[in-house]
Amino acid sequence: MNSENGPKGAGINRRRLLQTGTAGITLMMSGLSARRLSAQDASGQVIIGFSQEPTVMHPHMPHIEVDEGIHFNIFDPLFTVDPEGKFQPALVTEVPTVENGGISEDGLNWRIKLRDDVTWHDGEPFSAKDVKFTIELQQDPNFGAMRRTGHELVRNIQIVNDHELTWEMESPFAPYPAILSWTFMVPEHILGGAEDPNQTDFRNDPVGTGAFKFGERVAGNYILLNANTEYFGDGPYLEKAIFRYIPDMTVLYTQFRTGDIDVIGLQGIQPDRYEQAQQIEGRTVVKMPSATVESISFNTEAPQFKDPEVRRALSLALDRNSIVEAIYYGIPQSTESFLPKESFYYNQDLPVAEYDVAKAAEVLDAAGWMPGADGIREKDGVRLSFKNSTTAGNSVREQAQQFIQQTYASIGVDMQISNLPPAVMWGEYWMMSQFDSVMVGINYTTGPDPDVSNYLSSDGISAQGGAGQNTWQYHNDKVDELLKKGGSLFVPEERKVVYDEIQMLVHEDRPFLPIFQYANLRGHKSDLEGFMANVNVRIETWNVGQWRWS
């Protein structure tokens, strides 16, 4: 039982909820105070505070990470990914691998075996038809799918029986298991007959197989999920899960502190409140790893940055430890790679970046970049002067920019801060490599998979006619070769050798300078069990079905 939200302090208990029914809950939640909203009793509900409002209930339409906090609880994928990056069966009886024969050794033929005890929330049985429909929906050119990568390669889906199906891949694609772990199954019997797959009631009234059923949504306020008592897996252990939208970060934190919400999610607790939050009685604050990596990134086609010795010198003059400790309160961890340290594929042997301003100056001297009349270095008519951009309004990152600017100035490098509104920053300025340098945080991977072709392959340079986000315009033939090889291997140990080498090459080339791997600060009431950090998913409410009050 959650004593702080029990009957004596809240005003709404389980009996009252059951008496009022859904309409009553709506009225109470819409019209009563936030204090009453936090009511619950031993039988269980949880109130999760989000700083962004979930909007898209259909899991395959374009959406942002907060929507997945709902998707994970209404729907199931064939298999999910645990915090260690291992796939675990969900709707399948076993995760297909080369070893168990679910995937052929050449990666081209797949066999999927499904559970036979799964039903949709409306009582209809889940079957192989639903899997076929879900994959083919991603391939439908008339459907505005969130993701087609990987699904586009699937051919000749054959339904063997209600609980087994096979398909072929046009070419081996090792990241596909990771993509499937994010692909929630949707019902063929509801969506299959839609004239326009983009315009269905499903967007606002979803039906899944997950631990919770969709209850109701009050726009601008909350989304209510009810327990699926027929769920095939363990749980759920709570009767209701309520996702409240609280856009003001100060109000969000205050409601976490006072107990009006049970869980503070998404953007969570701000770094400057971390120490205070840890002192709140009855609260547990969790520093959760994130796969996002903060870096200073260079446009390697800009004349200043074509010289690798310039990038090396700027790395030597980058005081990563001070940025992490003084500006980010020591919360994130320094890193040398674009992969998260929790990944099986993280290269532990990467050399730690050295901070040595005097050596940085020596490198520039040796490379022929000498101070001009105004003290700024130059070579062959090119001044070592450049703009650095990020999205305007991020005060912590702007402090880091100013700190770096001062250090670089000390070695004769002129870094001008030129921040932009997000809509401008992430438009052609970023995608078409119109910047000199940027300071950004990027999640390079798809779940636990190490494939980063979208960011590091020369085919991914949009400014040169490619399709991807290699906005650094980074080109290394050996990296290209290794990325193709890594994407075709299905044995993790064999893939790791390839991605270790890719990380080492990128570390030496320095198209960007990794500074730290993000850590998110989440908090929950201490008597809530089952809250589990998972670096391989984008949202902390990935497993509410396992939550319970002690």
Q: Over its length of 550 residues, how does the chain's per-residue pLDDT go in tens digits?
A: 333 232 222 333 333 333 333 333 333 333 333 333 333 333 689 999 988 788 889 999 877 778 899 999 999 999 999 988 889 999 999 999 989 999 998 999 999 999 999 999 999 999 999 999 999 999 999 998 877 878 989 999 999 999 999 999 999 898 999 999 989 999 999 999 999 999 999 999 999 999 999 999 999 999 999 999 999 998 999 999 999 998 888 899 999 999 999 999 877 888 888 999 999 999 999 988 888 899 999 999 999 999 999 999 999 999 999 999 999 999 999 999 999 998 889 999 999 999 999 999 999 999 999 999 999 999 999 999 999 999 887 778 899 999 999 999 999 999 999 999 877 887 889 889 999 999 998 888 878 899 998 899 998 898 998 877 899 999 999 999 999 899 888 888 999 999 999 999 999 999 999 999 999 899 999 999 999 888 888 888 999 999 999 8
Dist CA 528 CA 424 (whole Å)? 42
DSSP state of 114: B
Amino acid letter, residue 295: S
Are the beta carbons of 247 and 270 closer than 8 angstroms? no
- Per-residue b or e along 56-73, where b marks 16 or more CB atoms closer than 10 Å to that residue's CB: bbbbbbebeebbbbbbbb
pLDDT at 43: 65
pLDDT at 14: 31
Are the beta carbons of 316 and 356 closer than 8 angstroms? yes
Are the beta carbons of 144 and 62 closer than 8 angstroms? yes
DSSP state of 532: -
Return the closest-CA partner of residue 408 out of 448, 431, 436, 450.
Answer: 436
Q: Is 345 helix (H, G, I), strand (E, B) or coil?
A: coil
pLDDT at 146: 78
Return the closest-CA partner of residue 284 out of 524, 42, 57.
Answer: 524
Dist CA 41 CA 333 (whole Å)? 39
H/E stretch holding 405: helix 395-409
Gyration radius from the chain CA atoms: 25
Find where tokens 């050449």 sit. Answer: 106
pLDDT at 423: 73
pLDDT at 462: 86
Dist CA 461 CA 231 (whole Å)? 45
pTM, to two decimals? 0.76
pLDDT at 529: 94
pLDDT at 3: 30
Amino acid letter, residue 215: G
Dist CA 58 CA 537 (whole Å)? 18
pLDDT at 6: 28
Q: Is 508 helix (H, G, I), strand (E, B) or coil?
A: helix
Are the beta carbons of 388 and 437 closer than 8 angstroms? yes
DSSP state of 325: I
End-to-end CA distance of the chain: 6
Dist CA 524 CA 287 (whole Å)? 12
> What six digits make up the tokens of 344?
């099986």
DSSP string, 427-479: THHHHTT--SEEEEEE--SBTTB---HHHHSGGG-GGGT-SS--TT----HHH
DSSP state of 25: H
Return the closest-CA partner of residue 350 out of 501, 496, 492, 474.
Answer: 501
